[in-house]
Amino acid sequence: MSEIEEAPRGDGGAPVAVDHDAEHRSAVPMPVARFDDPHLGDAARHPRRTEVIIALFLIVGIAGVAAFGGAFVENASTQVLAVSFGVGLFGLGFGLTAWGKYLMPRGPFEEARHELRNSDSDRQAMAAALVERTGVVVKRRRVLGGLLGTGFGIFGVVAAFPLLRSLGPVPGKTLFVTDWRKGSLLVDVNGRPVHKDDLQPGGLLTVFPNGFENTDNGQAVDQTVLIRLQSSGNIVTMRGRENWGPDGFVAYSKVCTHLGCPVGLYERQLELLVCPCHQSMFKVRDGAVPTFGPAPRPLPQLPLTIDPDGYLRAQAGYNQPVGPGFWERTTPAWENTSPR
């Protein structure tokens, strides 16, 4: 900081803290903005003009806020309300700021900066009070101090426990289960059962187990995407899933294994499911293994069957937790494919 210009002042040229006594400051008049203030330039050289301009802004401001009042009474459109309100306040504000900037005393004035630190003896006195009183009160009553500390410690733990624990249930198995069961009927979001003729090859539908609307989290947890691939016949997406995809139908959990967004996009030509949140892509024909993006695991597959009436049913529930990963999740990636 060698470049600081120390203003020549006082007698010796050394920086002198300005004396802030009232009698010192009271004698000097505070100059209004002056013509030759180098900060001001044109505005101060033409104070009348500046006044007029400021007055115009204030008048615009008055008109604006008055217009806002009128617009409010008339229940005008949002745009009219906004422009009258905004222009009104901006006009008043601009006028006031310009008034302050160009026509009010701006010095530059100076304020002394007193050191925050106290004298060494004051500091020592405080430290002494802390240490010596503690010595008397606590050190001679170690047992009491220990008991009090233990009490506060236990209370801290005990108080935190109900605060947290009362918020909700322990997770238990809630993250592991869905409402899909052996024989669950596939229904659409309105509860209508899905018949195998409802979907053309290449079609897609979001399905749920029947009765999902009576559950707390069914729509979020059970959501499953049912796809009818172009090729008919039994679709085998992986070893061990030989009879999971009857008549071209496959079903996967719609909850992305990355962050739980619904995997809502389907690229029909490439047979890819795409999550619009972070662009994870899942290969439908290959057990929904992720081929792109941050998703770490395939979407769990729901084993399907077609009942004698032609309605689609689940052979079983999902064989692993659906959705994103969490600490207690145990199923290794896609090795355990036997239906639950």
Partner 1 sequence: MNTFVKPRTQREARAARGRYGRVQQIVDELDDRLGIAKGGRTFLDKIFPDHWSFMLGEIALYSFIILVATGIFLTLYFVPSQTVVVYHGVYKPLDGMRVSEAYASSIDLSFAVRAGLLMRQMHHWAADIFVGAIVVHMARIFFTGAFRKPRELNWTIGVLLLILAIFNGFLGYSLPDDLISGTGIRIAYSILLSIPFVGSYLAVWLFGGNFPGHIIIERFYILHVLILPIIIAALIGAHLTLLVRQKHTQFPGKGRTEHNVVGSPMYPTFMAKTTGFLLMVTGVIAVMGGLFQINPIWQFGPYQADKISYAVQPDMYMGWLDGALRIMPSWEWVGFGHTLPWEVFLPAVIFPGLIFNLCLVWPAFERLFTKDQSIHQLLDRPRDRPKRTAAGAAMLALIFMVFCASSTDVLANFFHLSLNAVLWFFRIAVVVVPIIAGWVTWRICLEMQHGGTAIGRRKRAMVISRTAEGEYVGVTAEQRPGDEGEELEPLPVPRQIEVEPPARLGAAGEPVGASTGVDGGNGAGVRRVPR
Using the rule CB under 8 A, is 12 a contact of partner 1? Answer: no
Is there binding between residue 120 and partner 1 (CB under 8 A)?
no
214 binds partner 1 (CB under 8 A): no
**Residue whose CB is less far from partner 1, 107 or 149:** 107
- In the complex, what is the shortest distance from the CB of residue 149 to partner 1, in angstroms, rounded to a whole number? 26
Out of 12, 108, 162, 308, point to the residue binding partner 1 (CB under 8 A). 108
Residue 261, interface with partner 1 (CB under 8 A)? yes
- Site membership for partner 1, residue 118 (CB under 8 A): no
Looking from the CA of 73 toward its CB, the CA atoms found within 13 Å total: 5
Chain Cα centroid distance, residue 137:
48
Residue 90 engages partner 1 in binding (rule: CB under 8 A): yes
| Cα–Cα dist 80/83, whole Å | 5
Evaluate whether 244 touches 257 at the Cβ level (below 8 Å): no
Question: CA–CA separation, 180 vs 302, rounded Å?
Answer: 9
Contact positions with partner 1 (CB under 8 A) in 277-336 = 277-280, 290, 292-297, 323-330, 332-333
Residue 171 one-letter amino acid? P
Angle, helix 78-103 to helix 47-73, in steps of 10 degrees: 160
260 binds partner 1 (CB under 8 A): yes
Using the structure block, give the residue that is written with the tokens 């996009």.
265
Looking at beta carbons only, is 72 or 155 nearer to partner 1? Answer: 72
Provide the residue count of the chain. 340
User: CB under 8 A: which stretch of 192-200, 215-223, 237-245, 299-307 binds partner 1?
Assistant: 215-223
Size of interface with partner 1, in residues (CB under 8 A): 117
Shortest Cβ 227–partner 1 spacing (Å): 15
Based on CB atoms, which residue is closest to partner 1, 68 or 249? 68
List binders of partner 1 among 149-208 (CB under 8 A). 164-165, 167-171, 174-175, 189, 206, 208
User: In the bound complex, what is the minimum distance in angstroms from residue 186's beta carbon to partner 1?
Assistant: 14
Give CA–CA dist 84/3, Å, rounded. Answer: 49
Q: How far apart are CA 98 and CA 51, in angstroms?
A: 9
CB of 279 to partner 1, least distance (A): 6
Residues 17-76 that bind partner 1 (CB under 8 A): 17-20, 22, 24-32, 34-39, 45-48, 61, 72, 75
Burial of 75 (0-12, 13-18, 19+ CB in 10 A): exposed
Residue pair 261/321 in contact by the 8 Å Cβ criterion: no
CB of 85 to partner 1, least distance (A): 5
Query: What dihedral angle (degrees, nearest 10) is formed by the CA atoms of 172, 178, 183, 189?
Result: 150
